Structure 1
Amino acid sequence: MTTYLAEDNIRAYKDEYVNSPILSTYQVMADLVKEFGGEKARIGVEMGGYYYSARAHADLIRALPLADFVDADLLVNWIRLVKSPAELSLMRQAGRIADAAIKRAVDTADAGVRECDLAAAVYHQQISGTPEFGGNYDASALHLCIGERALAPHAAWNDKPLPASTTINIEVHGNRLRYQVNLSRTILIGKPSPAYQKLSEIAVEALNAGLETVCPGRTCSEVQGAFAQALARHGMSKEARVGYPIGLGYPPAVGERTASLRKGDETVLRPGMCFHMMPGLWLDDMSIAITQPFAVTESGYEPLSSTPRALFVK
């Protein structure tokens, strides 16, 4: 039901192989390879694949001792880096779901609301989507960093009520038919201090500087460099990458593990590439996360979300 393959090309294996500490489904796969004359073939495997374990590799090479195995990790991912027009259409829809999830978070967050209830509201929105199209489960857990936990890039929620004054860094995931757009915003309950308001303005200025550099022919490193220069004007720096490619997403992550918006990455931008630019700033005593997913176009970039790039104050 989930593939276009002909019925003859779909093979099942016995239930006794499921979660067996003794039997390996890779023996079944090896038998199929032999059936198609591949016993001595040159076979590419994804050595860094999330679901291709060390045991899986050992089982496969033991079952096909005459085959020549080579590491073909990311071979497909580099092809996936440039999205087709049909894929871009789904990414735009995923972005609208992400926008709806951020709006739901902003509308729900308030003093006295339990963190778990805020998370539940966001999950409801992510899955229900928009009136035009529904969403789906995301490729990674909702990141809800509150109070002291806002000083960490990723954190989970608890069941404590939100205090009258606190910082909320949230990353939501709009997922449309497995195509996912990530989006982060900071929500502040209470009045921001002048220093924190200034930090939010610096973060947005640097983010925009990076985005304005995006165009075909430029490199990922140049985008990061524009962001870094804007940040440096305020005496600040960020050593980590400021973006990663997004697209088709299954747990545990949506990142394609290929190009990154970081210093030294000379990957040339091409129309159809999609990134989550996520230049969050985590300092010793405060943090902020205002991000922008985008697609590279023929002349620049297309935002994949329309949520204002700003600090939300409740």
Structure 2
Amino acid sequence: MTPFERRTRACQDRLADADADATALFPSRNLLYLSGFDEEPAERHLLLFVPREGDPVFLVPDLYETQVRAESWVADVRTWSDDDDPRDALADVVSDLDLAGGRILVDDTMWARFSQDLWAALPAADFGLASEVVAPLRARKDDAELDALRRAGATVDRAVERVRDMGADAVGMTENELAAEIERLLADEGGEGIPFGPLVGSGPNGAMPHHGHGDRVIESGDPVVLDFGTVVDHYPSDQTRTVVFAGEPPAEFAEVHGVVQAARTAAVETVEPGVAAGDVDRAAREVIEEAGYGDRFIHRTGHGVGLDVHEEPYIVAGSDRELEVGNVFSVEPGIYLPDEFGVRIEDLVVVTDDGAELLNDTDRGWRC
């Protein structure tokens, strides 16, 4: 049995627990997770139905049939041609699956045009969101997923080391130029794309947590927040380091960097099965608050990472969600001083039987 079929059967178990009759997916991370088929959304009806019992059914345009059969484990592939009305084919599928009057969990990101066609085909059905059954499965990574995440982490580690080795050569570059070089290095190290554009925040730009990159020139002594990742076999890495390429930083910087390092360490040391996600956030936040910078830590401590670079579980204040073996998430405390600089240090961790496994292993210090 392939990992994709195992996930689908586990999804069917959750459908039964949720008293739902089926989940209906369209091109998305959820569809990839269950079927192994990856495609971007488009105007044609391409849907996967996973009923509570029995085998899943693909409904695809004719031109996708060979590709879907080659790339997915799903054997029941129904087709429609461009000369057909896809809504007729959709009506036939939901009738064959006996979904009239049932409870259908629809892909959270399904485009409205396809959702409306489902509603029209099943006017007596009750609808919910697929995340009710799929998100808990995706939150606990299986061996195949962990292997990809480890390889993605190792790839970004190699690129991070090469960025640090630039040292004084990075001074005089613009943030845009350094971001382009980072993308080149990630590809050179074997990355298969990027899950988000590199964040390069130099000097005061680093005080904006989601500053992308711009035309500011990196100067000697500038703290530079570097947040980037790559993709391996559909799974991303995500790592942040705050460095000074050359020269001496502002007077307060070394202290702030040390506080963030200590907060990251405290959070990672808190991770183990059964611990609440909010407790991990609190561990990092207490270190920063005790140092007097509590009001400058302005975001959650972390987010889950999987097929999406932001997914469950979220490491946020007040969350009572208990961590489980196989959860993968970021630990990324930060301190941001407006008009001066920012510091963020981020690693990905896997929850293990007795703690946490780090997926990143590069220098966390600020000197290059």
Q: 1:265 to 1:26 in 2, by over 3 A?
A: farther
Alignment correspondent of 1:296? 351
Task: Pick one of 138, 156, 159 that aligns with 1:101.
Answer: 159
Residue 232 of structure 2: aligned partner: 176
Is the CA contact 1:181–1:276 (under 8 Å) kept in the aligned structure 2? no
One of 167, 171, 188 as aligned partner of 2:244:
188
Q: How does 1:146-161 map to 2 (within 5 A)?
A: 146-159=202-215, 161=217
Whether the 8 Å contact between 1:101 and 1:174 is mirrored in structure 2 is no
- Higher-RCO chain (CA-CA 8 Å, sequence separation at least 6): 1
The amino acid of 1:34's aligned partner reads: S
Q: Distance in 2 between matches of 1:173 and 1:16?
A: 43
User: Which residue is equivalent to 1:244?
Assistant: 303
User: 1:278 is matched with which residue: 307, 312, 332?
Assistant: 332
Task: Please state which structure has a larger fraction of its residues in helix.
Answer: 2
Gaps of 5+ in 2: 1-66
TM-score (norm 2): 0.72
| Runs (5+) with no aligned partner, structure 1 | 18-22
User: CA–CA distance in 2 between the matches of 1:271 and 1:106?
Assistant: 33
RMSD, matched Cα: 2.5
Equivalent residue, structure 2, for 1:163: 219
**1:116 equivalent among 169, 176, 183:** 176
Secondary structure of the residue aligned to 1:157 is coil
Structure 1 residues 29 and 185: CA distance shift in structure 2, 3 A = farther
TM-score by length of 1: 0.83
Superposed displacement of residue 239, structure 1: 4.9
Aligned residues: 294
Q: Which one-letter code corresponds to 2:112 in the other structure?
A: A
Distance 1:312 1:12, change over 3 A: farther
Query: For the residues of structure 2 that align with 1:26 and 1:295, how far apart are their CA atoms?
Result: 43
Instruction: Give the AA of the match of 2:359.
Output: L
The separation in 2 between residues aligned to 1:255 and 1:28, in whole angstroms, is 35
Aligned counterparts of 2:257 and 2:357: Cα–Cα separation in 1: 23
For residues 15 and 138 of structure 1, the distance between their equivalents in structure 2, rounded to whole angstroms, comes to 34
Counterpart residue number, 1:20: none
- 1:35-69 residue CA offsets vs partner (Å, 9 max, x unmatched): 444344321113xx3x3233432232123323332
Q: Matched residue of 1:306: which SS?
A: coil
User: Partner of 2:106 in structure 1?
Assistant: 45
Task: Pick closer, same or farther for the CA change 1:298–1:312 going to 2, 3 Å.
Answer: same
Q: Tell me what 1:32 maps to.
A: 93
For the residues of structure 2 that align with 1:236 and 1:9, how far apart are their CA atoms? 57
Residue 26 and residue 206 in structure 1: after superposition, are their counterparts in 2 closer, same or farther (change >3 A)? Answer: farther
Aligned to 1:271, what secondary structure does the other structure show? coil
1:265 aligns to 2:325 (yes or no)? no
- How many Å separate the matches in 2 of 1:137 and 1:184? 17
